[in-house]
Each structure stands twice: as structure tokens, then as C-alpha cells.
């Protein structure tokens, strides 16, 4: 019988870390977690790991890795089984060094849908809060 497991892990990022460094740390953590879960539970057939990062009081998904045991045994390079959240860099407040001073003000709010929901109930025309 197939058994799957989904894990959520969070990294804390500080101002001294680059976004590339954060992504590397997230990949390392995902790979370690996947390997450990397959080793500890021989019944697992698929593992999903979602890595979020917290920085400046923002909690943002950075990557999601999903791999079967068979594929992981064939090739354990994490980047093959990983999808990256493109807006994580901006949402976590990482800035490129060539951004002009005029663009350093507060950024507009950006809504990020939860990975398990296609839309929130508040956005549903049939939603009632009474």
C-alpha cells in the first residue's frame, strides 16, 4: 500500500544572508529531510517537503519538493524534484543592489494563496459572514 508524507519546515533568515544562500539552505534542508524520512519509514512511497522562510516578520514559502522513493533512489539531486516560489525573494524583502533609492519605500501588499486552497472563502461570491 502506498504511503505518502507531507512535511512543513521553516528557516529563519537574517539580514546578513543572501537570497541565494537562503535557497541553498532550503534545498539542503529539504534533501536531508527527504532522505531521513525514507530511511526512517520503509513504507513511505512519496515524500513532500515544503520549506518556508521567516524574515522581518514575513513567513513565505520558498520551495516545495515532492519525490517518490524510486525516483529518489535513482537520482537524489534535490533540484530535480523541487518547485521554487518565484515571489519569495521580493516577499521576504531581499533587494537587488541596483534598486534605486526611490524604490525602497514600502511595497504594496501582495496576496499569496495558500498552497492547499485555490481561493479563500472571503473571495467566494457565495461567502456569508453573518
**pLDDT-based confidence at 125, cuts 50/70/90?**
low
Chain-centroid distance, C-alpha 21? 14
Report yes or no: 44 and 72 within 8 Å, Cβ to Cβ: no
3-class DSSP assignment, residue 51: strand
Residue 61: per-residue pLDDT: 97
Instruction: Give alpha helix (H) positions in the chain.
Output: 19-40, 69-74, 88-91
Residue 115: per-residue pLDDT: 44
How does 51-69 read in b/e, with b if 16+ C-beta sit within 10 Å? bbbebeeeebbbbbbbbbb
Q: Which is higher by pLDDT, 125 or 101?
A: 125
Whether the pLDDT of residue 6 is over 70: the answer is: yes
What pTM does this model have? 0.72
Amino acid at each position: 500500500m502506498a504511503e505518502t508524507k507531507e512535511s512543513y519546515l521553516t528557516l529563519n533568515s537574517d539580514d546578513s544572508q543572501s537570497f541565494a544562500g537562503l535557497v541553498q539552505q532550503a534545498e539542503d534542508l529539504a534533501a536531508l529531510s527527504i532522505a531521513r524520512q525514507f530511511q526512517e519509514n520503509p513504507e513511505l512511497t512519496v515524500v513532500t517537503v515544503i520549506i518556508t522562510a521567516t524574515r522581518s516578520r514575513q513567513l513565505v514559502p520558498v520551495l516545495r519538493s515532492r519525490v517518490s522513493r524510486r525516483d529518489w533512489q535513482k537520482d537524489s539531486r534535490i533540484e530535480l524534484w523541487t518547485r521554487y516560489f518565484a515571489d519569495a525573494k521580493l516577499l521576504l524583502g531581499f533587494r537587488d543592489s541596483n534598486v534605486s533609492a526611490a524604490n525602497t519605500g514600502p511595497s504594496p501588499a501582495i496576496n499569496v494563496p495558500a498552497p492547499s486552497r485555490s481561493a479563500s472563502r472571503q473571495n467566494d461570491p457565495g461567502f456569508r459572514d453573518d
